[in-house]
Amino acid sequence: MPDTRIRVMEIIARMSGGAAHHVIGLHQRRDTGGFDHRVFTGHVSDGEGDLMRLRGASVPVHRVPGLGRSVMPAADLRAMFHLVRAMRAFRPHVVHTRTAKAGALGRVAASLAGVGAARAHVFHGHLLDGYFSPPRRLAYVQTERMLAKLSDRLVTVGTRVRDDLLAEGIGRPEQYVVIPPGVRLGPVPERAAARAALGLPQDVPVVAYVARLTQVKRPDRFAAVAEAVLRRVPECRFAVCGGGDLAADFGRRVAPFAGSVHLLGWRGDVETVYGAADVAVLTSDNEGTPLTLIEAGMAGLPSVCTRVGSVAEVVRDGQTGLLAGRDAAELAAHVTRLLDDAALARRMGEAARAWTASAFGLDRLASETEALYRSLAPPELRPRCEVPGARR
């Protein structure tokens, strides 16, 4: 009897960051009866959090030599031809790429492989702001315009991300589908237990910062926010969960008030960090639809963050948290307001819990992603072509 499953080849550069959360979540909700879904990935670099290890995930992956975060022409070429060979062996109906580098190598490989696979690329954000010098930004835009021509669908995690990309001439409106993230947070411990587990005092306000310590996340801005908050709320403590290339610089920046900053490194139990906190903060120059803010909302925390990317599609300003420009003083004023007004923080936290649970569930993500696959599969394998719930 012929196999009528839709063969999906998903390619991601490394299993870290928000894109890896999606892969793990979809694997947990996968429909093995309707899909033969295989994940191809490289290796996580030193200093990054490997989510498969941190979360104890058992996603079966096919390792691609040379595929990773850094751009290295010889390794990238080797990875691309490894993907070409894998495509010719597997003969996928859909090639589904995530992250910029995997998106480039995967889509070019699909073109070279000649297996007739449809190509869908997911923008979990974009690299238009906060990453490159003007010449490199222009090169990125031109590359993505070319790659869009090799794509059947361009998927974004938020409408603002889609609109930013369209404004740069990347793809056509009819290529785009918006599929917001889906998140499942583990049980959130009681505050006393969470603080005890992290070595935090029981009777002080706590602010959580869960993010990579890298330039686009602006840990230097978070350090300035923390310093300003401490002038108003000297007993406050800051729980910093993450690591990255700026971890040492961040440690030096907060050295004058290091007793108030708890550097937790990468942790698999982020729900413990949220359980210990009163407010979550994110100070980035650029974001897609940040999973850390969704997780914070699911834990019942209000958030204070910069108004960038699709952040406003997660944090409803004045309802589930407070948004600000990129000014540290404005961000600090918002944090202080929530720390001073426990009733307001509690109302926003409960609203955040209700909103994120309804809008960013894992089952909805799996349903919309599988509908996308069906819409791209050969006609005999796709009973319906609609993407229910997804926004074009």
Read off the pLDDT of each residue in 274-287 and give the average, rounded to a whole number: 96
Tokens of 131: 């990453």
Q: CATH code for 6-183+361-381?
A: 3.40.50.2000
pTM: 0.83
Read off the pLDDT of each residue in 314-336 and give the average, rounded to a whole number: 97
Confidence of residue 368 (pLDDT cuts 50, 70, 90): very high
Distance CA 153, CA 107 (A): 11
Say how far residue 70 (Cα) sits from the centre of its chain.
18
Confidence of residue 234 (pLDDT cuts 50, 70, 90): very high
Q: Contact 153/177 with Cβ under 8 angstroms?
A: yes
Confidence of residue 274 (pLDDT cuts 50, 70, 90): very high
Lowest-confidence segment of 35-39, 45-49, 216-220, 221-225 by average pLDDT = 45-49
For 93-131, how does the pLDDT look when each residue is reduced to its tens digit (9 = 90+)?
999 999 888 999 999 999 999 999 999 999 987 777 777
Residue with tokens 């960013």: 360
Answer whether residue 339 shows pLDDT above 70. Answer: yes
Distance CA 280, CA 274 (A): 8
The pLDDT value recorded for residue 47 is: 53
Read off the pLDDT of each residue in 79-102 and give the average, rounded to a whole number: 94
Answer whether residue 51 shows pLDDT above 60. Answer: no
The pLDDT value recorded for residue 75 is: 87
Mean pLDDT rounded to a whole number for the chain: 90
The pLDDT value recorded for residue 390 is: 52
The pLDDT value recorded for residue 48 is: 54
Strand order in the sheet with 261-265: 261-265, 237-241, 206-210, 279-282, 303-306, 321-324
The pLDDT value recorded for residue 7 is: 95
The pLDDT value recorded for residue 57 is: 53
Q: Contact 373/30 with Cβ under 8 angstroms?
A: no
The pLDDT value recorded for residue 392 is: 53
Q: Contact 115/87 with Cβ under 8 angstroms?
A: yes
Answer whether residue 385 shows pLDDT above 50. Answer: no
The pLDDT value recorded for residue 99 is: 86
Answer whether residue 56 shows pLDDT above 60. Answer: no
Common-topology check for domains 6-183+361-381 and 191-359: yes
Beta strands at 6-12 and 35-41: parallel, antiparallel or unpaired: parallel
Percent of the chain whose predicted confidence (pLDDT) is above 70: 91
Pairwise pLDDT comparison (86 vs 44), residue with the higher score: 86
- For the chain, the structural domain boundaries read 6-183+361-381, 191-359
E-strand ranges in the chain read 6-12, 35-41, 61-63, 94-98, 118-123, 153-156, 176-178, 206-210, 237-241, 261-265, 279-282, 303-306, 321-324
Confidence of residue 388 (pLDDT cuts 50, 70, 90): very low
The pLDDT value recorded for residue 138 is: 92
**CATH class of the domain comprising 191-359:** alpha beta
Answer whether residue 145 shows pLDDT above 80. Answer: yes
For 159-202, how does the pLDDT look when each residue is reduced to its tens digit (9 = 90+)?
999 999 999 999 999 999 999 999 888 899 999 999 999 999 99
Distance CA 382, CA 375 (A): 6
